[in-house]
Structure 1
Amino acid sequence: MPVGPVGSSPGKNLHGRATECAQLGQMLVAARSGESRVLVLRGDAGVGKSALLDFAVTSADGMRTLRALGVESEMELAFAALHQLCAPLLDRLTDVPAPQRVALETAFGVRAGAPPDRFLVALAVLSLLSNVSEERPLLCVVDDAHWLDRASAQVLGFVARRLLAESILLVFGARQPVQELLGLPELEVSGLREVDARALLDSVTHTRLDRRIRDRIVAETKGNPLALLELPRGRSMTQMAGGFGLLHASALPDRIEQSFLNRIEELSEESQLLLLVAAAEPVGDPALMWQAAERLGVMPDAAVASGTDGLLSIDERVTFRHPLVRSAVYRAATAEDRRAAHLALAEVTDERLDPDRRAWHLASAADGPDEAVAVELERSAERAQATGGLAAAAAFLQRSLILTADASRRADRALAAAGASLQAGDFDAARRFAEVAERDEQDEFQGARALLLRGQIAFSSGLGGDAAPLLLMAATRLEPFDMKLARETYLMAWGAAIFAGQGEVIVQICDAVRALPPAEVPRPIDLVLDGYARLTASGRAAATPTLQRAATAVAQLPVEDVLRWGWVAAGAGAAVWDHEAMLATYTRQVQIVRDAGALGQLPIHITTLAVTLLGMGDFAGAAALIAEADAAAAATSSPIAPYPALWLEALRGREAEGAALIVSTIDQAGAAGQRHGVTTALWAAAVLYNGLARYEEAASAAREATANTYEPWVSAWALPELIEAAERGGDSALAREALERLTAITAPAGTDWALGIEARSRALVSSGTETDGLYCDAIELLGRTQMRPELARAHLLYGEWLRRQGRRVEARAQLRSAYDMFVSIGMEAFAERARRELMATGETVRKRTAGASASDELTPQELQIALLVRDGLSNPEVGARLFLSPRTVEWHLRKVFAKLSITSRRHLRDALEGSDRAPTPG
């Protein structure tokens, strides 16, 4: 759609677009020099976005150009626009890492396989474009982005946010904001200035207009180039002077569309039918269009002879002068004519090559319920799910539901549509379909599954208080029909209730679980569920043997179970204080999720592993994981609670950063009804203030954290903080009461970690000769674990006690060990507490900080890249881990080398000597 003089070549003589063209020109220069650029051109229909995109294409000398176009009628076909963009590059897929290549080939239907994670597909596209750009700078143009199918929009938004050091310019054109592209650099394209609008209008009018008429047209069109070109067309001077403003009540796009309609009405019947078929056929295939048109009695010779007044171009592809022409044609046609056009298109569409478009045309041709077409749409939904097009699957199922008359089938299809919508993240649609399923349910099993979906939707959309009661009711109703599904639902209900802190509901769930008949061959999930139920109903001593068996079984969960409910089952090891099981299980689960490409689940698994590393004092590894979790959450638009960051700042003892994070987490978690999040933040506060020796504040936070007695992990770990803070603050009664509660937890667990913490806590409240022995036991037990922060704190408490007993020489040895460990770990507040105690013994202590230059010099992402490269991962492997292209990894690596004053990868090990091991195996 030109916005310059008629007959001008695209991109040349664009009236009034010097600023926009200059910006695009600068971006092209940057892309040619090895820097990525992204831009969203946004503006009203006809304002000139497409002309600017054409300018970019014609100015991209020496660059390879890829184009895609969003089509309104293709919005339900998964990856349709992405396939347009990437089709010319499919011969280069062999250069893409295998898991990504398989995901993209599955998404495009090239191969069969498990449904790919859409973010793994996105990573494949990033790798593909990056690889191609190494040979030649790349320009990617996506017009009418507001009509992109959702799967393509998600992928392209992901790619756009990760471009950095590739020779790629990615430009979108869109009428309105596109959710998946929000936050990208944007340029609003508005109407032309008056002087430029007048010049454009003069260029397409044969006779000089009266100044008043010209100014009126410019004002009413608001400088919209397409309106300036289109609205005066076919009007005489008298008409423009006397009647041009009669349409002023309509929005400008409506007026432009009406102008197109006026032109359409002047065409022959054959030409109008041809336009309708073209509007209903989104592929732009001339052969397909002609075949369908002939079925409606439109002969090519007659249609060509009649012409389309320039509204339609038929070349290698069928294209409209402007998308508003397509919408004008389609909306102006009668419902009967639209159905006829779609039926003709369905009849000429090859069922083997394009069954989904054929099914969509058949659905559009139906004038009432049609079971045969509904079945075809179900098959299309299955194919869409198999290629990862969850939003498309939901759309097919929704259309199938509309065409279904039988109530029982309607309920089943509504359940399927609700499930697909939930997987696609469309919670509003999922709720609507679940309500339809409940309304149309014909048996108890359908009702139970509808209730299960409502519970899953409530949990996934915010972890609010509604989820657990709904899941509990669903599990109860599922028992007579599917006991395995019922048990899984009880476990989900328990997890939801724990997050929400709903003690009464937790008791109800556990009572229901204990009433279930025992499983003949217990699965890991049965052990976990039974262990949690015993924990609530009978206490730690009764539950620990079952939970210990569960922790062992969970460590070897099959991949499919890890992906379904591994996140909640993995807590069995933590509940019995088995750090080795925790580390092994969380490490394995993170690797499984990575290998499966289930990027949407990755943040929560990484979070649990990061917390485990923090317990070992591996701050560098945990910080790298936190950065990875943040990257994954940003890439998948799945916000996660900052639990590892909370504990990291608490252990570091940085009050400004830690206190702010604690307060914001408590506020946000409390507002969302997430009691677990509040408990975690309070535990972090207790650690922070114990490190700062502000025991009253530590005790207050720990008292609240330990009040959540139904939560089996953090509320228990907060008890040692309460004991220390209460005893140091002079409230021995509170400390002893907390010790009793702690012993009831740690004694049954029997691990070195549990017994070491118990001995350390008992020593705090003891007196006389037994105190020495308890501290020595604590140091010996914790010394056999990897829990370095806890061991260092045992040395500190022992040293503090020895100094108060007047045993200064012995105190110095313990305090020196504590101080050195705290400094090496990076626990600044506890290190300062140990330093003050050492000085009180008469020893001179120079204040030191951790000497790991990487932690000081590198950003978290740079440190993460450096650690992974140090441990042998290649740039493509690092890129796959961190959702970056290999070129961007190399760009960051050069910055790492400069900051560390090294010149190659082999020097990283020495340069990072002060940093802890990499977070997970490669």
Structure 2
Amino acid sequence: MFQGRAAERAEVERLVAGAGAGTGGAAVIRGEAGIGKTVLLDHAADAADGALVLRCAGSPPEAEQPFASLELMLRPVRDLGGPEAERLRALIEPQAAAGREDVFAVRRAVLALLHRLAADRPVVCLVDDAQWLDAASADALAYAARRLGAEPAALLAAARDESTFGSSGLAEIRLRRLCPEEAAAFLRGTAAGAGLAPPARDRVLAEAEGNPLALRLLAASLSPAQRAGCINPFTFHDGASPVGGTLQAELCARLGALPPGTRALLLLAAADDTRDTARVTGAAASVGATVADFAPAERAGLLAATRTTIAFAHPLVRAVAYHRATPSERRAAHRALADSAGAAHPEARTWHLAAASLGYQADVAAELERAGACSGDRRAYGLTFYVTKWSPAKIGDFMAGVEAVAEEIGLKL
């Protein structure tokens, strides 16, 4: 589903139309994970009516295998006869020599094959996850891409980083995060975002920061109680389910490679939505971490910490860092954050204590009620029944109160 992106779609359509008119070209779509690059490639495929569409995607396991991605792209035409196809097939076979002379031969063979294919109908080449292309495929495709201006062919490559095709001189299409209005419209249009209570919707929008994938996955991770608006105001992910997908697996692997102290510090930062550096560093010693443990995470491109605030590089890093930890590790992080908040921030202290609770804690439940009353936010009572394990009778009384307040303000639960 598109939201915004009118200029970017127009540029893609222009490239595809140029291929049909015999004046092709190429461009690199850049943007962070989940920003919509694949959707834009799909749009290009849909716009390429009547053209031969050749697609491939880079893959980390094949990034060291020469010509792996190029072979994948050309599979639909692998049985094509003629000297161009035969020459290319011989060059990119796994047993082929990899000398310098073959690098130039492959470049010329790819361009010759595209020229021959385009003689019958326009050709549109689409490359996803180009940051994981093997070097040989990336070299051959970049060489061809720079020479498509006089061919009925176009190439679009999607990449997260700046280095992929960075010195190729190709045009760039940069995808930004959605503005608040676009993000809200996108969320309403997703299955997970439909029917969210206003407090839950606002929290998802704030947490996702305009990233379309994060909007969809974070909304889907909410429990029924959270969807109704009962969300810990200091830890969005408390009570939510882990997010899934390939990005989650990738982030898990990156987090797993960090030192234990850094992972503990990231968990603290993920558990505290205030992004307050002082609060997180104040809790660090309790979980065996120090301020120095920020450095490996910053070098890995996962977050940036200043004297006052902590910012995750991608909205889903926080979710994965929180749910990758064990329940006992999460409870320990919340206890440390409660101590760090202290008497100066009683509401934050109370909510972190609630998240750290295992089983019913009458004193914590009472503190939550007081926190809700003091804040003037009746939704603040929401976490009590699913963290502190109220009795069924107590839950019934609570829900009756929530429904009464909802009716009073015109909110449909």
| TM class, shorter-length | 0.5 to 0.7
Aligned counterpart, 1:51: 39
Counterpart of 1:62 (choices 37, 50, 56) is 50
Name the CA shift for 1:53/1:127 in 2 (closer, same or farther; >3 Å): same
Distance in 2 of aligned mates of 1:33 and 1:67: 21
Mapping 1:379-398, distance limit 5 Å: none
C-alpha contact 2:148 2:154 (8 A) present in aligned 1: no
Aligned counterpart, 1:88: 76
Counterpart of 2:213 (choices 185, 208, 226) is 226
Aligned counterpart, 2:175: 189
Distance in 2 of aligned mates of 1:92 and 1:152: 20
Distance in 2 of aligned mates of 1:245 and 1:167: 55
Name the CA shift for 1:119/1:210 in 2 (closer, same or farther; >3 Å): same
Mapping 1:198-597, distance limit 5 Å: 198-203=184-189, 204-205=191-192, 208-211=195-198, 213-236=200-223, 238-239=225-226, 241=229, 242-243=231-232, 246=235, 262=242, 323-327=246-250
C-alpha contact 2:36 2:212 (8 A) present in aligned 1: yes
Mapping 1:104-253, distance limit 5 Å: 105-109=90-94, 116-182=101-167, 183-203=169-189, 204-205=191-192, 208-211=195-198, 213-236=200-223, 238-239=225-226, 241=229, 242-243=231-232, 246=235
Name the CA shift for 1:116/1:184 in 2 (closer, same or farther; >3 Å): same
Q: Give, as a single letter, the amino acid of the residue that structure 2 aligns with 1:20.
A: E
Distance in 2 of aligned mates of 1:16 and 1:103: 41
Q: Give, as a single letter, the amino acid of the residue that structure 2 aligns with 1:157.
A: A
Q: Deviations over 1:234-270 (max 9, x none)?
A: 313653653476369xxxxxxxxxx88x256xxxxxx
C-alpha contact 2:91 2:102 (8 A) present in aligned 1: no
C-alpha contact 1:201 1:228 (8 A) present in aligned 2: yes
Name the CA shift for 1:245/1:106 in 2 (closer, same or farther; >3 Å): farther
Distance in 1 of aligned mates of 2:65 and 2:236: 36
Name the CA shift for 1:243/1:123 in 2 (closer, same or farther; >3 Å): farther
SS at match of 1:106: helix
Name the CA shift for 1:42/1:112 in 2 (closer, same or farther; >3 Å): closer
C-alpha contact 1:34 1:166 (8 A) present in aligned 2: yes
Structure 1 position 111, deviation (Å)? 5.9
Distance in 2 of aligned mates of 1:72 and 1:244: 38
Distance in 2 of aligned mates of 1:38 and 1:325: 31
SS at match of 1:38: strand
Structure 1 position 129, deviation (Å)? 0.8
C-alpha contact 1:103 1:117 (8 A) present in aligned 2: no
C-alpha contact 2:24 2:153 (8 A) present in aligned 1: yes
Q: Deviations over 1:873-911 (max 9, x none)?
A: xxxxxxxxxxxxxxxxxxxxxxxxxxxxxxxxxxxxxxx
- Greater relative contact order (CA < 8 Å, ≥ 6 in sequence): 2
Distance in 2 of aligned mates of 1:56 and 1:118: 29
Mapping 1:678-693, distance limit 5 Å: none
Counterpart of 1:21 (choices 5, 9, 19) is 9
**How many residue pairs are counted as aligned between the two chains?**
251
Aligned counterpart, 1:31: 19
Structure 1 position 32, deviation (Å)? 0.4
Name the CA shift for 1:227/1:244 in 2 (closer, same or farther; >3 Å): farther
Structure 1 position 138, deviation (Å)? 0.6
Distance in 2 of aligned mates of 1:21 and 1:179: 22
C-alpha contact 1:138 1:169 (8 A) present in aligned 2: yes
Q: Give, as a single letter, the amino acid of the residue that structure 2 aligns with 1:36.
A: G
Distance in 2 of aligned mates of 1:112 and 1:73: 22
Q: Deviations over 1:464-484 (max 9, x none)?
A: xxxxxxxxxxxxxxxxxxxxx
Q: Give, as a single letter, the amino acid of the residue that structure 2 aligns with 1:143.
A: D
Name the CA shift for 1:152/1:207 in 2 (closer, same or farther; >3 Å): closer
Structure 1 position 68, deviation (Å)? 0.6
Q: Give, as a single letter, the amino acid of the residue that structure 1 aligns with 2:174.
A: E
Decide which structure has greater helix share.
1
Mapping 1:698-737, distance limit 5 Å: none
Name the CA shift for 1:181/1:117 in 2 (closer, same or farther; >3 Å): farther
Q: Deviations over 1:621-644 (max 9, x none)?
A: xxxxxxxxxxxxxxxxxxxxxxxx
Aligned-residue RMSD, C-alpha = 3.0
Structure 1 position 92, deviation (Å)? 3.4
Distance in 2 of aligned mates of 1:220 and 1:245: 12
Q: Give, as a single letter, the amino acid of the residue that structure 2 aligns with 1:61.
A: D
Distance in 2 of aligned mates of 1:112 and 1:61: 38
Structure 1 position 189, deviation (Å)? 0.7
Distance in 2 of aligned mates of 1:88 and 1:17: 31
C-alpha contact 2:52 2:123 (8 A) present in aligned 1: yes
SS at match of 1:162: coil
Q: Give, as a single letter, the amino acid of the residue that structure 2 aligns with 1:89.
A: V
Distance in 1 of aligned mates of 2:112 and 2:37: 28
Q: Give, as a single letter, the amino acid of the residue that structure 2 aligns with 1:53.
A: L
SS at match of 2:74: helix
- In structure 1, the gaps of 5 or more residues are 5-13, 249-258, 265-321, 335-922
TM-score normalised according to structure 2 size: 0.54
C-alpha contact 1:139 1:169 (8 A) present in aligned 2: yes
Structure 1 position 112, deviation (Å)? 6.9
Aligned counterpart, 1:590: none
Structure 1 position 86, deviation (Å)? 1.6
Q: Give, as a single letter, the amino acid of the residue that structure 2 aligns with 1:71.
A: S
C-alpha contact 2:54 2:126 (8 A) present in aligned 1: yes
Structure 1 position 94, deviation (Å)? 2.1
Decide which structure has greater strand share.
2
Name the CA shift for 1:166/1:326 in 2 (closer, same or farther; >3 Å): farther
Structure 1 position 331, deviation (Å)? 6.3
Please say which structure displays the higher CA radius of gyration: 1
Q: Give, as a single letter, the amino acid of the residue that structure 1 aligns with 2:144.
A: V
- In structure 2, the gaps of 5 or more residues are 258-413
Name the CA shift for 1:164/1:219 in 2 (closer, same or farther; >3 Å): same
Distance in 2 of aligned mates of 1:169 and 1:160: 8
C-alpha contact 1:69 1:145 (8 A) present in aligned 2: yes
